[in-house]
Structure 1
Amino acid sequence: MMLRYLLLPFAAIALLHFLWPMPARAQNSTRPISQCQAIAEALPDVAFASFNPRAALNVQAVVSDEVKITYIGHSTFLIETPGGLSIATDYSGWYAPPKTPDVVTMNKAHSSHYTLTPDPAIKHVLHGWGGDGEPADHDVVIGDTYIRNVTTDIRAGSGMMEPDGNSIFIFEVAGLCIGHLGHLHHELDDTDYAEIGRLDVLMVPVDGGLTMGAESMSRVVTRLRSALILPMHRRGPPVANFLQMSGDGFDKSFATEASVTVSLRSLPKKPLIYILQGV
């Protein structure tokens, strides 16, 4: 009996030690937590996880932090973050940003969306397609930005669909969720929307059918419910058709310059399709 009483404190200490939280592992050893990721509780109705911009990642961000987005040409935008990171989307080298970006993303639908010989000064080159039959899978924190991707299919030269040939890249920075649809060739399904999550800023190809027709693309944009929509890829009639298809649920405006500065606090209340200069 006495032995049992003596053992009880040791058992309690052992149990407490087992339940006590272990020190956090290094950031690089675990997948970052997305502040924009959808939780698919009952598809197609997607509920978004609540988030704290400061705690969601090992990245400092406040609602007043601003991100500058500049249209460079075709599908290339330059994203400049509060921490000084510069990211070029669908980088091919044809449309060169004014400075060498730290990060570039690419899609292989056409040579105007990628290059296999990027400037060696670019530190991080993220392909939207995988190798050895596997889809691309990016989950990386670079500077103050978490970058991830959701793959979609593309039309190959034969007209058949090539699985996972395109990536929708998502940039999470300053509390914002910024998405670039790349060369999207088909409407998204419920699983895609759940993987993408919330997108505050959306870069969308508008080209009259090279990717998708205006009606199909407008359905994708409507479903994503982004606050700021930045068309890209083609100019002229395709843009006008896309604006017409978008309906009264969106405000539309033509910018007087190629850049827009946005923060979580400054997002428009009503979804705004904003045509940057040069589009």
Structure 2
Amino acid sequence: MKIKWLGHSCFLLTADNGVRVLTDPFDSSVGYEVPDVAADIVSTSHKHSDHNYTQAVQGEFFHIDKTGKFFHKGIEIIGVATFHDEEGGAQRGKNTIYKFIVDGLHICHCGDLGHILTPEQRQEIGPVDILLIPVGGFYTIGPDQAVEVAKMLQPSVIIPMHFKTEPIQYPIAGVESFLQKIGGGKRVGKQEVEYDKASMASVSNVVVLDYA
């Protein structure tokens, strides 16, 4: 399975059989080049334009924007209800965490998670191999909370997202503070990585992808 970071919270997951999952496509307000890709499945964690710009996606696709369990083209998806803030959604509304099971790997995309998980949410998510987690703060959890959530989920691989880079104008932090607090990480110098079930025991715990 391949994981390609298109910027912000948008990833393209490609299964070995070619099925493509796109997470949280964004509009031009973010600062990155708007993704111009085709996908079979598109998930949107909440209804903000930097996470639900499905107009950018080519072709027909199965759109998931709610909680529950889904199955499409061999991909199992679990949507778990969370919030965009620490006040039960009073400030920024609801957020959905999606877990995708692709080629036997459990990939958890946190969307704009704004709080520490409850034990019930942790149980609902279940096992996690690869965690895609926001670390920039302000609109989402910041470095300290991200470390705590990662410890709760115990993934083999953590891929930070939703952090400040040169194109981003949002008042969010860069990835450096998260890396310091979690004990380091590996900057792979590329936009895409590839994993399989056998590689999980020997991979780097924190992997920072480059925006193209």
TM over 0.5: yes
Which secondary structure state, in structure 1, belongs to the residue aligned with residue 190 of structure 2? coil
Query: Match for 1:208: what amino acid?
Result: G
Which stretch has the larger CA shift, 261-270 or 223-232? Answer: 261-270
Counterpart of 1:244 (choices 180, 183, 189) is 180
Sort the Cα spacing of 1:119 and 1:264 in 2 relative to 1 into closer, same or farther, 3 A. Answer: closer
Query: Match for 1:68: what amino acid?
Result: K
Deviation at 1:118, TM superposition (A): 5.7
1:257 aligns with 2:190: yes
Q: Where in structure 2 are the equivalents of 1:182-221 lying within 5 Å? A: 182-221=111-150
Taking structure 1 as the reference length, what is the TM-score of the superposition?
0.65
Task: Give the Cα separation in 2 of the matches to 1:260 and 1:116.
Answer: 24
Match of residue 49 from structure 2: 111
Deviation at 1:117, TM superposition (A): 4.3
Question: When the two structures are aligned, how many residues end up with a matched partner?
Answer: 199
Task: Give the Cα separation in 2 of the matches to 1:172 and 1:116.
Answer: 22
Counterpart of 1:142 (choices 72, 80, 84) is 72
Instruction: State, as a whole percentage, how many aligned pairs show the same letter.
Output: 28
Task: Give the Cα separation in 1 of the matches to 2:111 and 2:82.
Answer: 9
Q: Where in structure 2 are the equivalents of 1:23-102 lying within 5 Å? A: 67-94=1-28, 96-97=34-35, 99-102=37-40
The RMSD of aligned alpha carbons is 2.4
Contact preservation (8 Å) 1:81, 1:144: no
Which secondary structure state, in structure 1, belongs to the residue aligned with residue 152 of structure 2? helix
Question: Which structure would you say has the larger Rg?
Answer: 1
Give per-residue Cα distances to partners, 1:206-237, cap 9 Å, x unaligned.
11332012111110011111001111111355
Which secondary structure state, in structure 2, belongs to the residue aligned with residue 139 of structure 1? strand
Sort the Cα spacing of 1:120 and 1:68 in 2 relative to 1 into closer, same or farther, 3 A. Answer: closer
Task: Give the Cα separation in 2 of the matches to 1:147 and 1:227.
Answer: 19
Task: Give the Cα separation in 2 of the matches to 1:166 and 1:233.
Answer: 14
1:154 aligns with 2:88: no
Identify unmatched segments of 5+ residues in structure 2.
166-172
Contact preservation (8 Å) 2:37, 2:56: no
1:123 aligns with 2:61: yes
Deviation at 1:172, TM superposition (A): 0.6
Query: Match for 2:62: what amino acid?
Result: H
Which secondary structure state, in structure 2, belongs to the residue aligned with residue 112 of structure 1? coil
